[in-house]
Structure 1
Amino acid sequence: MAKNDLTTGERINWKNFAICFLVSLGQIAFGYPASIIGTTLGEPSFLIYMSILNAETGELTTSGNQLIGAMSGVFQAGAVLGVLFASWVMDRYGRKAGMIYCAVFSLVGGALLCGSINVAMFIVARFLAGIGSWGFLAVTPTYCAELAPPKHRGFFVGMNGINIALGYGLASYMGMAFFYAPYGEAQWRGPLGIALLWPFMMLIIIALPFVPESPRFLLMRGRIEEAREVTMRLHSVKGDPDQEFARAEFYQMSKQTEFDRTLDPSWMEMFRRPSYRKRTFMAMGFAFIGQSTAVLVINNYGPLQYAALGFETEDQLRLQCGWISVGVIFNAVGALLMDKFGRRPLMLFGVFGCCVCLIIEAAMVGAFAEGPNAGENKVGLAFGVVAFYAFLAVYSVGIDVCGVVWYSEVL
């Protein structure tokens, strides 16, 4: 490829960027409901309403810890079904249909959460919300990866990571804001109700006339002229009068689709074919490592962990807001660095950095938050908070934002 072609390929079609940005906002519909449980469990009014906390003694009931674990974990259980079915809907009906599927489950689950009158209803609603919310985690990065130009794929798809963190942040900010509401149900129903805004927003975005179906999906369905029109519109750039870059992108997509049609795309083939199996295990392995860093434990139980470090309810919520804000900033840093330094160096940095931060955190908790002198060493307790913040910084740069890009590229 000539030097001029390389320069052309590095330019950004801002219409393409705007579409990928709007679709990446779907990650707020994942991040917000995934994170809101943390501040919800930090509200005494919620715990008392659900009979998890004894109002007179201020202590958890005998089944309190089990119910808290169920409320948190069932969301991830819904994720298993959500991701599997979202993938099937995407392949059969299109990427936009996949987003509609996620939005519907998110709205139903979110409405039931906001209106829950007992623990059982809340747990069922969390399961349904998990189906829709986690589905977005699979759908929107796929869509963005299929529209993004190769030179900027890290940035375009990385916006999904930024919006995941933004969703987490908004949940913490709303939890903090409603903490100052009059004591009662509004303190926790309000933030849960706000979760309905994000999937509704996605339905509006999908309906916008300039948001197209993925050209790769159109090619797989034999809708060649539609795919060509979308590709030329989204990959045309100024300074390329013959639009050679857009033509080259469409040619590459077409040839790849011709080859893909000769392959067996079944679930069994993912594990039966050696090349598929290797990539599948690589993607699953890194996703497993990312979740094994305990990021969701820290997020969901953040206020409870800050309580163990000796902080009162208001300070717990403030620290949770600060922690989430770190994620928003460093996801953006990772998205900007990825196309320059590559995926692998940042991923290694993220994994080893998280390990170091968790070792420090465990040492601080063991030394200063437990035992007969617990809570006396304020410097040690503060350093425990710093370790949490440093953890999220390296996780955001090396695992969160890199993961959503790397999964789509390796597969």
Structure 2
Amino acid sequence: MALIKFRGKPLGGYNILIIAFATFGSITYGYCSAIIGSTLGQPSFLHYFGLDTASNAAALIGAINGLFQGGGLIGTLTFGAVADKFGRCKAMFLASVLAIIGGGLQAGSVHLAMYLVSRFLTGLAIGGLVMLVPLWQSEVAPPHARGLLVGLHGVSILVGYSSSAWVGFGFYFVNADGAQWRPPLAIQCLPPLILACGVCFIPESPRWLIDNDQHERAEAVLQRIYGDSSDPDNHAARAEFAQIRAQVELERHLPSSWASLFTVPHYRKRALIGFTTLLAGQLTGTTVINNYGPSLYAALGHGASASLALSAGWLTEGLVCNAINAVFLDYVGRKWLMVTGLIGCAISLLGVSIMVALYGGTTNKGGNSAGVFFLYLHLTFYATCMDASTYVYGSEIWPTHLRGKGFAISCAGLFVGYCVPNHWLEVLSNHDGIHTYLCHHLRRVLP
């Protein structure tokens, strides 16, 4: 396929195509994670499961989110081992099938217990996909364009996020019984179905193939990825193959067990850095703002439909900013982008906290509009500087022989970071209001 130049070096169209196709897994993660935000904003969903009248509604909503994130934590660790044992592509297929099952059960749920179980199953699946997609992408992307190509994972997550929000907003105006929330939940089966059908047609990671002594297949994959009419003898592919093989042979005799991640000092340091990097991204509060966005906008004086529209617009803005993040990665670098993002998120969260505390529940349009502005500014910093950056950095700090297990540890920080602030929110919002939560949360974001 056609070549383009990126940073003065060739980048194959085939390479771009297969990496872009794998992002159906990223879209799955984004849609499945974010659909709960608009679902909880649908009156018919709350009424069907009795969440509009239950005295323990806050705890039940917390369980809906908590089981999903808990499943994600288990899934990312489990599929890390599966990816090392059976290959990245087979692991993506299994995770996709599980996502289809979980999404279908959610859409067909007839009581809350069924919905809770299906959310947990979906969590297992997306926990695998959010780790497997950038792991595989980082192993097939050429080094000079790795930031851009793996950054497509973050961009595609926002495609899933924003799609779920606009779908939820559109179905808000459908009055048929169950139609407000069942079709949006069923749609989450589509991206993993596409991935499951096509994953057998994309190549396995050449690094995994070499690590498992499948050298001929690995060399063929590299020749396809690096194919260039100006290089008929495939010198670039052969050089990359030789480099990967030498690296794998060097690492073959190094410790590679799960225990070694914590007992070998420099592995333990990588585990701590990777885990903390993805944990920090979630402690900015971005996921909480997404999941409870309609409640925040309602506190700032907006009605149900306007709150859903503002949430959808918020996520659409994040999609644009993530595309910028993917481009910046190979020019600015990972570290300073993430530091800038953390500082910007902290400042924005402070602004939101002040506006909600002063003007929440009032008719002051200026104060409420400022609160909405700070919510959008918060996502601007997060999506432009942190979202894609954390996945790229969290995967590339690991050597080949430990990348599956190591990146699983990194992604575990993602789900721990989801669970902790959501629990704080349930406790604090029940007693002191959401603005107290935001102020409490801010103290954990400040670097």
Same fold (TM over 0.5): yes
Aligned partner (choices 207, 213, 219) of residue 216 of structure 1: 207
Change (3 A) 1:12 1:379: same
- CA deviation after TM superposition for structure 1 residue 184, in Å: 2.6
> In structure 1, how many angstroms separate the alpha carbons of the residues matched to 2:230 and 2:156?
32
| Deviation by residue 1:8-51 (Cα, 9 ceiling, x = unmatched) | 97210111111111112210110101000000000010000000
Where does residue 294 of structure 1 map in the other structure?
285
Residue 235 (str. 1) matches residue 235 (str. 2): no
TM-score of the aligned structures, taking structure 2 as reference length: 0.86
Shift of 1:239: 2.8
> Does 2:326 align with 1:319?
no
Where does residue 366 of structure 1 map in the other structure?
357
Note closer, same or farther for the CA distance 1:310–1:397 as it changes in structure 2 (3 Å cut): same
Aligned-pair CA distance for 1:183 = 4.3
What fraction of aligned residue pairs are identical, expressed as a percent?
38
Match in the other structure for 2:33: 34
Asked whether the 8 Å contact 1:27–1:137 carries over to 2, the reply is yes
Gaps of 5+ in 2: 399-447
Aligned with 1:12: secondary structure? strand
* Map of 1:47 onto structure 2: 46
Q: Deviations over 1:225-254 (max 9, x none)?
A: 111111111013343344322222111111
Q: CA deviation at 1:261?
A: 1.2
* 1:25 to 1:125, Cα distance in 2 relative to 1, 3 A: same
What corresponds to 1:129 in structure 2? 122
Matches of 2:214 and 2:234 in 1, distance apart?
A: 21
CA spacing shift, 1:64–1:330, aligned 2, 3 Å: same
- The answer to which of 338-347 and 143-152 deviates more is 338-347
Aligned mates of 1:24, 1:228 — CA distance in 2:
24
State the partner residue of 1:394. Answer: 381
Aligned residues: 394
In the TM superposition, 1:5-404 aligns within 5 A as 10-54=9-53, 61-208=54-201, 211-369=202-360, 374-404=361-391
Quote the Cα distance in structure 1 between the aligned partners of 2:268 and 2:200.
37
Deviations 1:335-356 (A, max 9, x none): 0111011111111111111111
The one-letter amino acid paired with 1:65 is A
3-state DSSP of counterpart to 1:70? helix
1:168 and 1:378 mapped to 2: Cα distance?
28
Instruction: Give 1:7 shift.
Output: 9.0
CA distance change for structure 1 residues 298 and 7 in 2, over 3 Å: closer, same or farther?
closer
1:11 match: secondary structure: strand
Which stretch shifts more, 149-158 or 199-208?
199-208
**Aligned equivalents of 1:399 and 1:335: distance in 2?**
10
The code of the aligned residue for 2:162 comes to G
Report if aligned partners of 1:8, 1:237 keep a CA contact under 8 Å in 2.
Answer: no
Counterpart amino acid of residue 76 in structure 1: Q
- Which whole-Å CA distance do the structure 1 matches of 2:301 and 2:7 have between them? 56
Per-residue displacement from partner, 1:244-293 (whole Å, max 9, x unpaired)?
22222111111111122111211110011111111110000111111111
8 Å Cα contact 1:9-1:245 kept in structure 2: no
Report the Cα distance in structure 2 between the residues aligned to 1:260 and 1:115, rounded to whole angstroms.
48
Name structure 1 gaps, 5 residues minimum.
Answer: 1-5, 55-60
Contact 1:351 1:395 in 2 (8 A): yes
> 1:373-410, CA deviations, whole angstroms, 9 ceiling, x for partnerless residues?
x3221111111111111111111122111011111111
Within 1, Cα distance between the matches of 2:127 and 2:384? 21
Task: Provide Cα deviations, 1:320-367, integer angstroms capped at 9, x if missing partner.
Answer: 110000110000000011101111111111111111110111011111
CA–CA distance in structure 2, aligned partners of residues 243 and 199 of structure 1: 34
- Compute the RMSD of aligned alpha carbons: 1.4
Contact 2:16–2:149 (Cα < 8 Å) also in 1? yes
Tell me the secondary structure at the aligned position of residue 367 of structure 2: helix
Contact 1:8 1:245 in 2 (8 A): no
One-letter code aligned to 1:116:
S
Give the Cα separation in 2 of the matches to 1:101 and 1:296: 26
Partner SS for 2:124: helix
